[in-house]
Amino acid sequence: MATPHITAEPGDFAPAVLMPGDPKRAERMARLILDSPRLVTDVRGILGFTGTYAGDGPHLGRPLSVMASGMGMPSITIYATELFRWYGVERIIRVGTAGGIAPAVAVGDVVVGVGAHTTSSMNELRIPGTHFSAVADFTMAAAAMQAAGAGLRVHAGTVISEDHFYFKVPGQVEALAAYGVLCVEMEAAALYGVAAEHGKGALGVFTVSDHLTTEGTNMTAAERETHFQDALTLAVAAAFA
Ligand code: HPA
């Protein structure tokens, strides 16, 4: 049985799915951390893979999936809903990039998104008369923070999930910084909402790829890959927590 946006068969996904935005990144991640990754879906070029975890440590050999989300809250909502509702998926960990907002966050740092503010109306529709609170699964967030090795610059706190990438509401970034919001991305709040709807677990782990309020150097390609691996280590810990 396929779903409208996923061609996989029941049982094709592991209980935990790591979810980058970019399908090519999903493929690279799958080849990097899975033994014998198997392509299980490719509708609209949104690639999904399942294999067994290839990393050292206690989780070696456990089933794990990697699937892209595409960009933005409607896109991740479609894939997360189908995975939770019809494929028995219990946990989704978004592994993405984000723009730094808080001055304490630097390009290359990793952010664990404990909660997500949003400019989207998607969660406003969920509980009548209620401003929805989009939060990560506590056990998963705690496991991710615990997996952060010494020397890794990692922050836990709130992020903002925006609908616009290019348009900025005047004064908004400054206000977000004043409230200690760590970074901006485009999917977490919706993912946390879908997880709450289905009684499942979700977490976002972000690599800060650029910064909106401080002058900083952008990462080199090599740095991007190293920092991406740091974020991946935290995401795997959350997947198996
Ligand atoms: N906005 C939204 N998403 C992002 C950004 C940004 O500035 N940088 C990386 N992902």
Encode burial over 108-135: b for 16+ CB neighbours within 10 A, e otherwise.
bbbbbbbbbbbbbebbeeeeeeeebebb
Output the 3-class SS for 149-202.
CCCCCEEEEEEEECCCCCCCCCCHHHHHHHCCCCEEECCHHHHHHHHHHHCCEE
Compute the average pLDDT of residues 225-233. Answer: 85
- At 128, the pLDDT band (50, 70, 90 cuts) reads very high
Which one is predicted more confidently, 213 or 17? 17
Residue with the smallest CA separation from ligand 1 atom 2 is 185
Question: Is residue 161 within 6 Å of ligand 1 at its C-beta?
Answer: no
The verdict on whether 210 is a catalytic residue reads yes
pLDDT at position 228 is: 82
Question: How far, in Å, is the centroid of ligand 1 from the Cα of 117?
Answer: 14
pTM of the model: 0.96
**pLDDT for 32-90, tens place per residue?**
999 999 999 999 999 999 999 999 889 999 999 999 999 999 999 999 999 999 999 99
Whether 210 shows a pLDDT value over 80: the answer reads yes
The domain ranges of the chain are: 16-239
Q: Please say whether the dihedral angle defined by the alpha carbons of residues 185, 44, 81 and 147, taken in this order, is positive or negative.
A: negative
Residue with the smallest CA separation from ligand 1 atom 6 is 99
Q: Are 71 and 157 in contact (CB under 8 A)?
A: no
Which one is predicted more confidently, 229 or 173? 173
Which one is predicted more confidently, 228 or 132? 132
Q: Are 62 and 53 in contact (CB under 8 A)?
A: yes
Whether 216 shows a pLDDT value over 80: the answer reads no
pLDDT at position 219 is: 78
Give the separation between CA 10 and CA 216, rounded to whole angstroms: 46
Whether 176 shows a pLDDT value over 90: the answer reads yes
Whether 114 shows a pLDDT value over 90: the answer reads yes
Residues in the chain: 241
Question: Is residue 118 within 6 Å of ligand 1 at its C-beta?
Answer: no
Compute the average pLDDT of residues 160-170. Answer: 96
Residue 97: in which H helix or E strand, if any? strand 91-100
Question: How far, in Å, is the centroid of ligand 1 from the Cα of 11?
Answer: 34
| Residues contacting residue 110 through CB under 8 Å, at least 6 positions apart | 148, 152, 153, 154, 155, 205, 206, 207, 208, 227, 230, 231, 234
Question: How far, in Å, is the centroid of ligand 1 from the Cα of 184?
Answer: 6
pLDDT at position 10 is: 93
Give the separation between CA 236 and CA 124, rounded to whole angstroms: 31
pLDDT at position 224 is: 75
Q: Looking at ligand 1, which atom is closest to the CA of residue 210?
A: 8
The matching CATH number, chosen from 3.30.465.10, 3.40.605.10, 3.20.20.80, 3.40.50.1580, for 16-239 is: 3.40.50.1580
Q: Looking at ligand 1, which atom is closest to the CA of residue 209?
A: 9
- At 225, the pLDDT band (50, 70, 90 cuts) reads confident
Question: How far, in Å, is the centroid of ligand 1 from the Cα of 175?
Answer: 17
Mean pLDDT over the full length of the chain: 95
Question: Is residue 147 within 6 Å of ligand 1 at its C-beta?
Answer: no
pLDDT at position 218 is: 75
Question: Is residue 12 within 6 Å of ligand 1 at its C-beta?
Answer: no
Compute the average pLDDT of residues 105-120. Answer: 97
Give the separation between CA 32 and CA 4, rounded to whole angstroms: 29
- At 150, the pLDDT band (50, 70, 90 cuts) reads confident
* Given the residues 12, 109, 210, 230, the one annotated as active site: 210
Compute the average pLDDT of residues 127-136. Answer: 97
